[in-house]
Amino acid sequence: MTQRRLVFITGASSGIGQALAARFYTAGYDLALVARRTDQIESWASARQLDAARYRIYSADVAQTDSIVGAGQACIVQQGLPDVVIANAGISVGIDTAERGDLDVLASTFATNNTGLAATFHPFVAAMVARGSGRLVGIGSVAAIRGLPGHGAYCASKAGVVAYCESLRGELRPSGVRVVTLCPGYIDTPLTQGNRYGMPFLMKAEDFAEQAFRGIESGVSYRVIPWQMGVVAKIMRMLPNALYDRAVQGRGRKKRLGES
Per-residue pLDDT of the chain (260 residues; tens, 9 = 90+): 467 899 999 999 888 999 999 999 999 999 999 999 899 999 999 999 999 999 999 999 999 999 999 999 999 999 999 999 999 999 988 999 999 999 999 999 999 999 999 999 999 999 999 999 999 999 999 989 887 888 899 999 999 999 999 999 999 999 999 999 999 988 876 666 565 555 667 889 999 999 999 999 998 999 999 888 878 878 877 888 787 677 777 665 554 433 22
Separation of alpha carbons 88 and 120, rounded Å: 9
Looking at 29, 154, 164, 186, which residue is catalytic? 154
Q: Residue type at 60?
A: A
Is 222 considered catalytic here? no
Q: What is the pTM of this model?
A: 0.90
Among 60, 87, 54, smallest CA distance to 73 is for 60
pLDDT at 191: 63
pLDDT at 257: 34
DSSP characters over 28-83: T-EEEEEES-HHHHHHHHHHTT--GGGEEEEE--TTSHHHHHHHHHHHHHHH---S
Residue 225, beta-bridge partner list: 184
